[in-house]
Chain A
Amino acid sequence: MARIGVFVCHCGTNIAGTVDVTKVVEVIKKLPMVVLATDSKYTCSEPGQASIREAIIENNLNRVVIASCSPRMHEATFRRTVASTGLNPYLLEIANIREQCSWVHSDDKEVATAKAIEIIKMAVSKVIRHEPLFPTQVEITKRALIIGGGITGIQAALDIANAGYEVVVVEREPSIGGRMSQLDKTFPTLDCSACILTPKMVDLGQHPKIKLMTYAEVKKVKGFVGNFEAEILQKARKVDHLKCTGCGTCWQKCPQKILSQFDLGLGKRTAIYIPFAQAVPPKPVIDVSICRYIKYLNWVATGQEGKKPPECRICEKLCPTGAITWDQEEELITEKFGAVVVATGYQTYDHSHYQEYGGGAYPDVISGLQLERLMSASGPTGGEVIRPSDGAHPKTVAFVCCVGSRDQQKGRPYCSKVCCMYTAKHAIMLREHDPEIQCYIFYIDVRTGGKDFEEFYLRAIDEAGVIYIKGRPSKIYRDGKKLKILGEDALIGRPVEIAADLVVLATGMEPSIGADELARILNASYDTYNFMVEAHPKLRPVETQTDGVFVAGACVGPRDIPECVAHGGAAAAKVSALFSQDTLTTDPLIAVVNQARCIGCLLCVAICPFKAISYEVTRDKRLIAVVNESLCKGCGLCMASCRPKAVDLRGFTNQQILDEVNSLWL
């Protein structure tokens, strides 16, 4: 039997000025099960709370209604008050007679008083059905999964590992390093990208707390914060990395060559390869799509049709440690984690979509990233900048900004943020390579928001004598050995035409391929361009709507290196904070299934936005829904869709909402 105490707050004159509190108390006193109804000047004040505590104990109340301000204001406060008497904090209900009564009906005291009474009646009828609720504790697996081994992932991994927690880094390429490893120098300081990146890569590779899984992909993630379980696909390397020493004999001798993705088609690599010299791990994989011996094996397997490929096996013969293992197959590895950091980064926009700029058909129209490879000392040309078509040294170089950025037609309306600066960097560096080079930069706006960025841009103009032309070129076409760039100088409103030896397109950023698929796997949301969506753009920049899944770096939006590093660190801090607890406390206001009533139509399973409902089969072969308490956020979608009302929401039960409605006509 409920023993309800109702405490009506004056809130100074805020409530009492409009609502006749004495009258309210008189009426409420008479309600069934209300053993005490009283008022106080400031319920939330210390004396106010003290009097509630006393009243609870004195009258041995087991339900409390506080008629005051909005529950959004003081529910937490009063729950503590109630709890301090040993009563379960969830046996409290707030009647909002200030924001939703006295303050909005100050014009009519009578009406306001009547409404206040009804509001409290509703609260009373609801509180009767409140039950003691207890938060549950869940163990946390203190192990982080980092998806993506670029600078962001590396930073996050190192920070978490240095905080003392285990980390697994999954990178789909044969080496970590990401985009940054393809860069020659970084703006605005012009320090060598590799020189600052590789030490971090090595640290990561050797860190006792970090397990590195390259040439691997995350295929499935189930579970919830603190208790994820991920299925990771380790692709077949055909090389036993425990035996391999990375001596390099194999990739020097391998006869099968192909254009290198790492060098963006400007150089070649072999079938057994490491993507670049400083790769971590410094051990090769075999590209089964081109390896001669693999081809041969497939030929045998498929009934020896067509021409017989050579039984090469040179790498195997030369390998001093016998690390080549042809029978190595891809395998699915399942690992447990407590948190996931998505750092899948970006790829550059494919400029072949720009027909007006040759649609990728002109070898001497290259992307900024390709230029990086040409300028890099460890690049395909050993740092010599030459035209891909004829190897000649370009003297006139034209840059076009915003290719695949700020372009509605190409479905890329956003600014990629880094292109302005890297283009300035390219111009400056080209001048250092060869003082005779003249650079032209076609731009829409030059955006230099960042420390020392503006200075760097001015340096391009003053020191490197770069000529900036405002306007997006309309056409680029080949004219003999030259490339003609047609455009209009928007500042003087005159058409311009530049004959260049080399054209560099400042291609923008877009999320790495497969980012959307990964988001789905993680039940995180992503925007129309497949960039990850953060839980709050300002206040929760590295969290997602899915607890325990964090996002960092360029997979969220265009970012430069320092920002990515900062975000990696931020995500790491969040993960470490999570791991600093031993257990997670979950809110008890969640869905519960009445198994006797559940008919197993599984509509709720389909509807739940948090994948919190699954099903199991009972002993009498019935399908029934089961709620995962840690995943459920208590939205109540499931119960509104449940025809037999087999699922209910603690704290907002069907009975309670119905009783609230009923109370209006009692």
Chain B
Amino acid sequence: MTKVITKEDLLSWLRQLAEKYTVVAPVTSNGVTLYESISGSEVDKIDLSFSNTELSPKNLFFPPTEALFTIVQNERPEIIPAKVDREAIIFGVRPCDARGIALIDKAFLAEPADGFYKEKREKTTLVGLACSAPCPECFCTSVGSSPADPTHVDLLLIPTEAGYITQIVTDKCKQLLMGAPVKEAEAVQPSLPSLKSVPAEGITEVMSKVFNDPYWDRVADRCVHCNICAYVCPCCYCFDIRDYVSKGKIERVRSWESCQSAGFTRIAGGYDPRSTKGSRLRQRWYHKLLYFPEQFGDIKCTGCGRCVRSCPVNIDIREIINDVQRMRA
């Protein structure tokens, strides 16, 4: 016997939670699936059969744009920091994306922690949803995760005919589940779907040798240097900061930025140490496959396949890893 929650009960439970928490869940409209915060009455909008969202849940901790604080020009200026008033629940986080958040944690929660990120992170509970039908581009199993990996969520739901097997992971979700309509039932855990493997082992070691290989320029030939890959990535976290003055207020704003955009490394005076297409593209892979691992231990990739799906010119991390491995020796 395992603890199971039926689809109907799940929705009514979320309906309850919505009264107390900000509930964020996958919703599909205009042909794109995105995480949206929904009210109790809107739970039916939730897309339970989504494969994965176009944009990762990182947005909820690291929004595309957030005001960090505001300075009001009174007689003496006063600083009003941004804060989160309501606790949040993210429903339907895929294990790969949960891992993405964990990877960002490494960078943002390492002391001195990023307060704005930390606050949101602490006030949020992740309800994971195991993958039954992964996308053909997925390769989470090759980068240390799996379709039903509970490691980085607070609660994992595994879909079965009988309903969702609830797998409690953290205390955080225990009290969340109190009074939740979870029943004992016969439910067989479905066998994990198998994924194509990508030879990611020891990639860092090869990366450290091939920095100057012309390969990067060749790949960059077709790169158009949009920021799509970085913005859909569940674990890319570069940003830009700027101050806004309007109506007597000064607001410090931070927004997403990407190493692929032209101005990213431009310095005062206009010089850009990373001005060539190749050097910019290379930076992306070196951060993911060498610098981040060197600093935090893990490859900065969750195998979610988003960049592979959305790249306008099919720059495919799986191909890159394969090619780099071939450069060994």
Instruction: Decide if A and B touch, CB cutoff 8 A.
Output: yes
CA–CA, A596 to B245, complex, Å?
Answer: 28
Q: Are A666 and B247 in contact (CB under 8 A)?
A: yes
Number of A positions contacting B (CB below 8 A): 3
Q: CB-CB < 8 A to A665: which residues of B? A: 246-247
CA distance A64 to B247 in the complex (A): 25
Contact indicator per residue, chain B 233-256, by CB within 8 Å of chain A (1) or not (0) = 000000000000111100000000
B270 in contact with A666 (CB, 8 Å): no
Bound-state Cα–Cα, A666 to B247, Å: 5
Contact with A along B257-283 (1 / 0, CB 8 A): 000000000000010000000000000
A28 to chain B, nearest CB (A): 16
Tell me the dominant secondary structure on chain A's binding face: loop
* A residues 629-666 touching B (CB-CB < 8 Å): 665-666
Min CB distance A594 to B, Å, is 11
- Measured CB to CB, the closest approach of chain B to A286, in angstroms, equals 65
Chain A, 300-330, CB within 8 A of any chain B CB? none
Task: With both chains docked as a complex, state the minimum distance between the C-beta of A376 and any C-beta of chain B, in angstroms.
Answer: 75
Proximity bits, A97-118, B CB within 8 Å = 1, else 0: 0000000000000000000000
Q: Which residues of the other chain, A, contact B248 by a CB distance below 8 angstroms?
A: 666
- Asked whether, in the complex, the Cβ of B246 is within 8 Å of the Cβ of A596, the reply is no
**What 1/0 flags go to A588-610 for Cβ under 8 Å of B?**
00000000100000000000000
Q: What is the chain B residue whose CB lies nearest that of A665?
A: B246
Give, as a whole number of angstroms, the nearest-CB distance from B70 to chain A.
15
Asked whether A596 lies within 8 Å of B247 as measured between CB atoms, the reply is no
- A480 and B217 alpha carbons, distance in the complex (Å): 94
Q: How far is the CB of B129 from chain A (nearest CB, A)?
A: 45
Which residues of chain A are near B246, meaning CB under 8 Å?
A: 665-666
- Specify which chain B residues have a CB less than 8 angstroms from the CB of A596 in the assembled complex: 270
Give the number of residue pairs across the A-B interface with Cβ within 8 Å.
7
Within 8 A of B (CB), among A256-299: none
Closest to B247 in A: A665
Chain B residue with the shortest CB-CB distance to A596: B270
Whole-angstrom distance between the Cβ of A560 and the nearest chain B Cβ: 65
Please name all residues of chain B whose beta carbon is closer than 8 Å to the beta carbon of A666 when the two chains form the complex.
245-248
Residues of A within 8 A of B247 (CB): 665-666
Q: Closest CB of chain A to B260's CB: distance in Å?
A: 20
Closest Cβ of chain B to A666, distance in Å, is 7
Chain A residues numbered 569-601 whose CB sits less than 8 Å from any CB in chain B: 596
A666 vs B270: C-alpha distance when bound (angstroms): 29
Residue of A nearest to B245 (CB): A666
Query: How far apart sit A596 and B272, CA to CA, in the bound complex (Å)?
Result: 13
Query: Whole-angstrom distance from the CB of B25 to the nearest CB of chain A?
Result: 37
The B-contacting residues of A in range 134-181, CB under 8 angstroms, are none
Shortest beta-carbon distance from A7 to chain B in Å: 25
CB distance from A664 to the nearest CB of B (A): 11
Q: Which residue of A lies closest to B270 (CB)?
A: A596
Chain A: CB-nearest residue to B248: A666
Using Cβ atoms and an 8 Å threshold, which residues of chain A touch B270?
Answer: 596
How would residues 371 to 389 of chain A score, 1 for a CB under 8 Å from any chain B CB and 0 otherwise?
Answer: 0000000000000000000
Give Cα distance in the complex from A666 to B244, angstroms: 10
Complex contacts, B245 vs chain A, CB 8 Å: 666
Identity of the chain A residue whose Cβ is nearest the Cβ of B249 in the assembled complex: A666
User: CA of A665 to CA of B249 in the docked complex: distance in angstroms?
Assistant: 11
Whole-angstrom distance from the CB of B232 to the nearest CB of chain A?
A: 28
Task: Report B59 CB to chain A, min CB distance, Å.
Answer: 29
Q: Distance (Å) between the CB of A214 and the closest chain B CB?
A: 58
Q: How far is the CA of A666 from the CA of B73 in the complex (A)?
A: 12
How far apart are B266's CB and chain A's nearest CB, in angstroms? 11
CB distance from B247 to the nearest CB of A (A): 6
Question: Closest approach, in angstroms, between the C-beta of B137 and any C-beta of chain A?
Answer: 36
Determine how close the nearest CB of chain A comes to the CB of B71; give it in whole angstroms: 14
Closest Cβ–Cβ distance, residue B277 to chain A (whole Å): 16
How near does chain A come to B67, taking the closest CB pair, in angstroms?
A: 18
> Within the complex, what minimum Cβ distance (angstroms) separates A240 from chain B?
62
Q: In angstroms, how far is the closest chain A Cβ from the Cβ of B293?
A: 38
| A666 to B245 Cα, complex, angstroms | 7
For residue B282, give the distance in angstroms from its CB to the closest CB of chain A: 23
- Per-position contact with A for B190-211: 1 when CB-CB < 8 Å, else 0? 0000000000000000000000
CA–CA, A596 and B266, complex, Å = 14
**How far in angstroms is the closest Cβ of chain B from A605?**
25
For the complex formed, measure the closest distance between the CB of A659 and the CB atoms of chain B, giving whole angstroms: 11
Mark interface residues in B302-318 (1 if CB within 8 Å of A CB, else 0): 00000000000000000
Measured between alpha carbons, how far is A665 from B248 in the docked complex, in Å?
9
B172 to chain A minimum Cβ distance, whole angstroms, is 44
B147: min CB distance to chain A, Å: 47
Whole-angstrom distance between the Cβ of B251 and the nearest chain A Cβ = 13
Give me 7 A-to-B residue pairs in the complex whose CB atoms sit less than 8 angstroms apart, sorted by A's number: A596-B270, A665-B246, A665-B247, A666-B245, A666-B246, A666-B247, A666-B248
Give the top 4 A-B pairs by smallest Cβ distance, nearest first. A665-B246, A665-B247, A666-B246, A666-B245
